[in-house]
Structure 1
């Protein structure tokens, strides 16, 4: 396959998936990884893709985080499923961190009747839990109106003042080799602060994010205790091999 055809195929794959790594592209194009790297360098030079560690992504992926409302409406059933699995881990009397992710937000209906304290940077989480049994602690700092969340240095310092029994966070990508990645330095900073100050951290990720490496690598895999996912056993196995507990339907049903 000549470069013009490879170019079209590469752009189609990245447009559909948001990003792709060299190995996957080489397999789908039936060419060498060296050729793919050269092609990606040319496409990046034209501004059509952005190079990442091990692959490339759509240029618009680095423009900042997507607003909360569009993310909330995407894959809603999957997010509710992951939230139900994660919520079953929470015990009365605990302090938990909840980040501003749309999947983590889906925990709210499952924890309203629990006698717990929630520390969060998410305005939708606060709104959803008002009037419930949950005690709420909202981080202070700069408000991102699109994400409906508080970010920045002051918010991170606020989180560092507290210790949580569990943190529930989301990411834009997780790799068994390179750990957690995000599209935004601000969100990465909040997630890192929660991870560092929680006894146990739960990462809520649908199958599409497993094996993905995004714009900014910000935490290693050994900082996570449990991966909550809808991925099949084969896709989850590399993370099990790294010593990570993987909570999915099979474990829920004791299979």
Structure 2
């Protein structure tokens, strides 16, 4: 894969932020602004998203972890603090298992370690829809999963920005990313993770309910579990609470 697009701001210990499926690095705008006075904050676009190139072939979560490992190596700053939401949280799990020397800590928010058969069928239905009708066909449903009704009503400009980032993704890269997410089996490798881990679940998250965060935390030795009063894209809905959880976790380490 060619190099991924990224933005680096601030100074201090390095935090790498990994976004959710269908988003881009601007998902982290508010959190980055809150952290960059104390940390070097690196945000990047996952393959096929934002300004990063798409893959020529199907890929899995291990490939997204490899992308992240190469980005971290290129920074030349040693092991980093790595935080991800949803697909980014899956990337964090795979990265810590496959490339332990790349990470000092990981934070996994609004994510999952595995999906049951019914959930995988739902992912396949979304893939089929996108390949037949394009990403715009699933955009409204995605926004309803991502954000609470209250946030959607109160922040129309931010919601419009996120919708625009989603519908800019070509159908096939989005479908490939859906397949990578649907196929995760991270519960098999999470027990081997040795770095400190924080797992954040959203109390209003219906896409990846708290039970999935509890499963991740139970599967990683010594992992901490925290709750945030937000829907699926918690870093957008509650950026100050998210930044405080992340900062506090790193400082304790």
Q: Could you state the TM-score of these two structures normalised by the residue count of structure 1? A: 0.36
Give the helix-richer structure, 1 or 2: 2
Q: Could you state the TM-score of these two structures normalised by the residue count of structure 2? A: 0.36
Give the strand-richer structure, 1 or 2: 1
Greater C-alpha radius of gyration: 1
